[in-house]
């Protein structure tokens, strides 16, 4: 993300919904962000055509509307991931978290994915707890997804939004639930052709 002067404002993760639409967190594109570039893991970053945050997102007080869509000018040639809209995620369910965030060794810009267990499911948020035998999220993973299996495919259950601590691998991780009607309406209003299960 860059400001009006082209200065870098940080980096987040995202998940492809269609060949041109990427789901991320609203706090990634909030404030002074004037342009977004997307890095696919190789080659040069691609400048996004546009981006929009959920209109109810507020940067203070922990927002349950922490969702945004990035639109690309051209298809980017990666496989989209469907949204989990047919059921709620379940406490105790195995999930995969992924993102381009730091590791506990502060290594950046490498896509990582790991297994975790959903510890709480609310009307707006999903939670996972750090422990020695599950994966956790870190700075730069914001906007990435927590995925659960449905019908033999990995599906997006939530958007990585926050952690309870300022350091990696500790505390509680929070994800904005895709089944929240405000969030799903926002996403499908912009990306009506997003796959869903």
Rounded mean pLDDT of 54-67?
85
pLDDT per position as a tens digit, 31-48: 899 999 999 988 999 999
The mean pLDDT value for 44-64 works out to 89
Mean pLDDT along residues 18-38: 96
Task: Give residue 109's pLDDT.
Answer: 62
What are the residue boundaries of the structural domains of the chain, listed by start? 15-78+182-190, 94-179
Two domains, one topology: 15-78+182-190 and 94-179: yes
- Write the pLDDT tens digit of every residue in 120-146: 999 999 999 988 888 888 888 999 999
What pLDDT score does 106 carry? 63
pLDDT band at 62 (very low <50, low <70, confident <90, very high): low
Mean pLDDT of the chain: 92
Q: What is the residue-wise DSSP string for the chain?
A: -B-TT--B------EESSSSEEEE-GGGS-TT--B-EE--SSS--EE-SEEEE-TT--SSS--TT--EEEE-SS--------B--SS---TT-EEEEEES---TT---S--EEEEEEEEEE-SSEEEEE--TTS----TT-TT-EEEEEETTEEEEEEEEEEESSSSSS-SEEEEEETTSHHHHHHHHHH-TT--B-
pTM here is 0.94
Class of domain 15-78+182-190 as given by CATH = mainly beta
**CATH of range 94-179; options 2.40.10.10, 2.40.50.140, 1.10.3710.10, 2.40.160.210:** 2.40.10.10
- Predicted local distance difference test score (pLDDT) of residue 103: 72
What percentage of residues in the chain have a pLDDT greater than 70? 95
């Amino acid at each position: 993300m860059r400001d009006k002067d082209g200065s870098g404002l940080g980096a987040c993760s995202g998940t492809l919904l269609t060949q041109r639409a990427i789901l991320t967190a609203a706090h990634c594109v909030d404030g002074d962000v004037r342009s977004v570039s997307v890095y696919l893991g190789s080659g040069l970053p691609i400048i996004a055509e546009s981006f929009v945050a959920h209109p109810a997102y507020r940067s203070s007080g922990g927002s349950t509307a922490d969702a945004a869509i990035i639109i690309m000018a051209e298809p980017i040639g990666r496989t989209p991931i469907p949204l989990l809209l047919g059921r709620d995620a379940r406490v105790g369910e195995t999930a995969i978290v992924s993102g381009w965030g730091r590791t506990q060794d502060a290594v950046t810009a490498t896509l990582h994915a790991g297994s975790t267990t959903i510890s709480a499911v609310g009307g707006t948020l999903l939670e996972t707890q750090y422990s020695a035998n599950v994966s956790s999220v870190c700075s730069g993973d914001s906007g990435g997804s927590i995925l659960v299996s449905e019908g033999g495919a990995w599906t997006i259950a939530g958007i990585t939004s926050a952690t309870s601590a300022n350091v990696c691998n500790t505390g509680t991780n929070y994800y904005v639930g895709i089944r929240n009607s405000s969030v799903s309406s926002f996403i499908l209003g912009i990306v009506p052709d997003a796959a869903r299960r």
